[in-house]
Amino acid sequence: MDFREITEFFRDFMGYIIAFVIIVLIFTFVVAFHPVAGNSMIPTLSEGDVVLVSKFSHKLFSLKRNEIIILKSSNEKTYIKRIIGLPGEKVDYINGVLYINDKGYNEPFLADDVITNNFLFEDICPIEDCPDGVIPDDMYLVLGDNRMDSYDSRDSELGLVPISNIVGSVIMRIWPVNKIGLVD
């Protein structure tokens, strides 16, 4: 019996094990693939699309307005939404215009025929929960791009989303192949 063959086999085998462990760690802590279910993000994302999600960027960097995120609700369901309101902001929607701290904002990612029903910040976060009249620290207001068919912060069961419920930020669409690319 030649021990060099055995040690060479184990050396090669350990290389595969190390590679496998690294891949598992990357997909556990760094990135994930996430399928899009439902119509709430049309036209940006459609049911059946698959996105690549960064699971750590929101822990290192501040989340930004219009960033698309994956979140878990209190009932453990996973949703994909767009951040509209940041901590310290008051968000209202009046006559088709998004107001953040009483200043109008354009939403270029919305389809031209999208209608967003009016709401005031007090409708989303009553004064008992938001005594300062703004989104509390580490909370976010999220909406789907398909405003008429979206379960989002306007629904009292979801409401404002704590950062602890955010799984990650969408980096890019990877499926279908003809739509591979960054997502705005």
Q: Report the catalytic residues.
A: 40, 81
Buried b vs exposed e over 97-129: b needs ≥16 C-beta within 10 Å?
Answer: ebbbeeeeeebeebeeeeebeeeebeebbeeee
The CA R_g of the chain, rounded to the nearest whole Å, is: 21
CB 163 within 8 A of CB 63: yes
CB 146 within 8 A of CB 42: yes
CB 166 within 8 A of CB 158: no
- Tell me which DSSP letter residue 163 carries: G
